[in-house]
């Protein structure tokens, strides 16, 4: 085929060269393919015979065969969050011409934010600050028991906290812009979508469209909160995307969901003194060690968070407008016909996040997306089924959704693409922490997963007291509750 296209190609017969076995080993490392032919076009790994013929049929091969100078950029990254920024900056440090597009589609409540993605604006950073606000309140209470005497009434001011958090985030947004400028990365505040191979359309806030081309692309579009699909959800409920900049105190709050986002938000809202109920459809912290998840839950319950287990909301109705207003929530049991209703000031949905992969023109260039989950399957070098398109971060199928992982994957990808590195991202033994009132850190498999993978008879399960105490012994109440907790188990 290459001959018929008049393409000059270099053929290395592995069984006819001395170090053929070594070359095959390295090829298998960097491409995840041991078989031959193993084809590269202009330094982009194509795959074997079938994928090369497919690429020829779709016209992709002809594009790849064109000169590099046919493209405006060496790399365009779609998504300026944890993974995208790390990858773009590393590629620029390696001397490449790089563009990054970042655009935040406002929430149904109209909330929007600046450069840096989820973690910085509506994720790790503000949630950790709110968690800290809650811990400080707890420590103030503890302080009396440790001899501190104060006469002023201590109360929490939501607006002050939000202003401080948003100022901090503003400085981070600015820092990212500066850092991109210093590294000569072109930043475009527009929504990117593919229109054809190697070409994207960027649409800005005013609807102006501009087209850009690049030799390689990295998708790093992240995720956004899901909605329930029940009457009143998008009109009256908020999500974590709204909470961290909410201009008024949410008041009596219902949190729907039992994942770490739900429990963390419920935990710090209760910690600053709000009346909080968490509505749980099935179990707490799916995917985490269930014994630990229950300890986190019971600690929260002892500290005033109410749990409504085995219920799901079916309707949210506005009773009164306001900041906050009044909402009636009707919920039904997952186990029988029972329905309940209750009035809250705020309903916070934390029922999972959907990948932003459906509206970026991937179908136009044939990038495979898992139909059900919206996630993108990649090989172990983060390459999609379209050889010049790579992906990192939360949108990857079967990988952990954490900032340090997205950053590490983005950096290593740039080094492999542009500096000949072979180092791949390790997605397995990654430590993570749940910042609930009782903080919980873990690394590796949960007990349930370990049993599934290695079978119960091959495992010895032990509780590690030291780490557990070390992390949270700081508060008087914590100590007492922990001693209770462990004495009773």
Nearer to ligand NA7, 218 or 280 (CB): 280
Q: Establish if 312 lies at the interface with ligand NA7 (CB under 6 A).
A: yes
| Least spacing, CB of residue 378 vs ligand NA7, in Å | 17
Q: How many residues does the chain have?
A: 489
Report residue 96 CA to chain centroid gap.
26
Determine the Cα angle at 304 with ends 300 and 310, to 5°.
65
Give backbone dihedrals phi and psi of 415, rounded to 5 degrees, phi first: -65, -35
Where does this chain touch ligand FAD (CB under 6 A) — which range of 6-14, 315-323, 397-405, 461-469?
397-405
Q: What is the DSSP string of 133-183?
A: HHHHHHHHHHHHHTT----SPP---HHHHHHHHHHHHHHHHHHHHHHHHHT
State yes or no: residue 325 binds ligand FAD (CB under 6 A): no
User: Out of 76, 90, 158, 192, which residue is the one contacting ligand FAD (CB under 6 A)?
Assistant: 192
Count Cβ atoms within 10 A of the Cβ of residue 400 and give its class: 0-12 exposed, 13-18 middle, 19 or more buried.
middle
Indicate whether 257 belongs to the interface with ligand NA7 (CB under 6 A): yes
Neighbours of 233 (CB within 10 A): 20
Q: Which of 281, 306, 310, 424 binds ligand NA7 (CB under 6 A)?
A: 281
Is 256:279 a contact under the CB 8 Å cutoff? yes
Q: Is 406 one of the binding residues for ligand FAD (CB under 6 A)?
A: yes
Sign of CA dihedral 40, 41, 47, 50: negative
Binds ligand FAD (CB under 6 A): choice among 79, 232, 267, 437: 79
Q: Which residues of 419-429 are buried (b: 16+ CB within 10 A; e: fewer)?
A: eeeeebbeeee
The whole-angstrom separation of Cα 413 and Cα 82 is 13
Tell me the number of residues near ligand NA7 by CB under 6 A.
18
Among 45, 51, 63, 127, binds ligand FAD (CB under 6 A): 127
Question: If binding is defined by CB under 6 A, does position 261 make contact with ligand NA7?
Answer: yes
Question: Directed axis angle between helix 290-302 and helix 476-487, to 10°?
Answer: 130
Q: In the stretch 329-368, what mask flags binding to ligand FAD with x, by CB under 6 A? A: ---------------------------x---x--------
- 233 touches which of ligand NA7, ligand FAD, none (CB within 5 to 8 A by kind)? none
**Residues in contact with ligand NA7 by the rule CB under 6 A:** 228, 256-261, 281-283, 286, 312, 350-353, 394, 401
Residues at the contact surface with ligand FAD, assessed by CB under 6 A: 78-84, 101-104, 117-119, 123-124, 127, 191-193, 220-222, 240, 261, 356, 360, 393-394, 401-404, 406
């Amino acid at each position: 085929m290459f001959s018929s296209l008049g393409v000059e190609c270099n053929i290395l017969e592995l069984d006819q060269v001395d170090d053929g076995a070594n070359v095959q080993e390295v090829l298998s490392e960097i491409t995840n393919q041991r078989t031959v032919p193993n084809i590269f076009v202009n330094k982009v790994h194509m795959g074997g015979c079938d994928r090369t013929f497919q690429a020829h049929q779709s016209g992709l091969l002809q594009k790849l065969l064109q000169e590099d100078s046919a493209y405006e950029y060496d790399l365009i990254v779609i998504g300026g969050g944890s993974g995208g920024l790390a990858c773009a900056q590393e590629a620029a440090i390696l001397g490449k011409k790089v563009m990054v597009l970042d655009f935040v589609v406002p929430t149904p409540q109209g909330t929007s934010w600046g450069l840096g993605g989820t973690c910085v604006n509506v994720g790790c950073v503000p949630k950790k600050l709110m968690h800290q606000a809650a811990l400080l309140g707890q420590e103030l209470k503890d302080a009396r028991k440790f001899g501190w005497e104060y006469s002023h009434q201590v109360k929490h001011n939501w607006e002050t906290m939000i202003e401080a958090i948003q100022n901090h985030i503003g400085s981070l947004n600015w820092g990212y812009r500066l850092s991109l400028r210093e590294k000569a990365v072109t930043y475009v505040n527009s929504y990117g979508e593919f229109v054809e191979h190697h070409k994207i359309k960027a649409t800005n806030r005013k609807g102006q469209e501009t087209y850009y081309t690049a030799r390689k692309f990295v998708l790093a579009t992240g995720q956004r909160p899901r909605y329930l699909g029940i009457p009143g959800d998008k009109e009256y409920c908020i999500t974590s995307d709204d909470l961290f900049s909410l201009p008024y105190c949410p008041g009596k709050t219902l949190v729907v969901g039992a994942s770490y986002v739900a429990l963390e938000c419920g935990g710090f809202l209760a910690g600053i003194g709000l009346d909080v109920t968490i509505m749980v459809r099935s179990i707490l912290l799916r995917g985490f060690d269930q014994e630990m998840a229950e300890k986190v839950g019971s600690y929260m319950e002892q500290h005033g968070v109410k749990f409504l287990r085995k219920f799901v909301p079916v309707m949210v109705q506005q009773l009164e407008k306001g900041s906050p207003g009044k909402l009636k929530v009707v919920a039904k049991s997952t186990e029988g016909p029972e329905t309940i209703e209750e009035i809250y000031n705020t309903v916070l949905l934390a029922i999972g996040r959907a990948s932003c992969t459906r509206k970026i023109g991937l179908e136009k260039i044939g990038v495979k997306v898992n139909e059900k989950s919206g996630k993108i399957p990649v090989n172990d070098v983060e390459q999609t089924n379209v050889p010049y398109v790579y992906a990192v971060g939360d949108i990857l199928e079967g990988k952990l959704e954490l900032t340090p992982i997205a950053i590490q994957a983005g950096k290593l990808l740039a080094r492999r693409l542009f500096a000949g590195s072979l180092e791949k991202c390790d997605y397995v033994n990654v430590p993570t922490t749940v910042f609930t009132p009782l903080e919980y850190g873990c690394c590796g498999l949960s007990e349930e997963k370990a049993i599934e993978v290695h079978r119960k008879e091959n495992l010895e399960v032990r509780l590690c007291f030291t780490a557990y105490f070390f992390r949270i012994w700081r508060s008087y109440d914590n100590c007492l509750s922990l001693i209770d907790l462990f004495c009773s188990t």
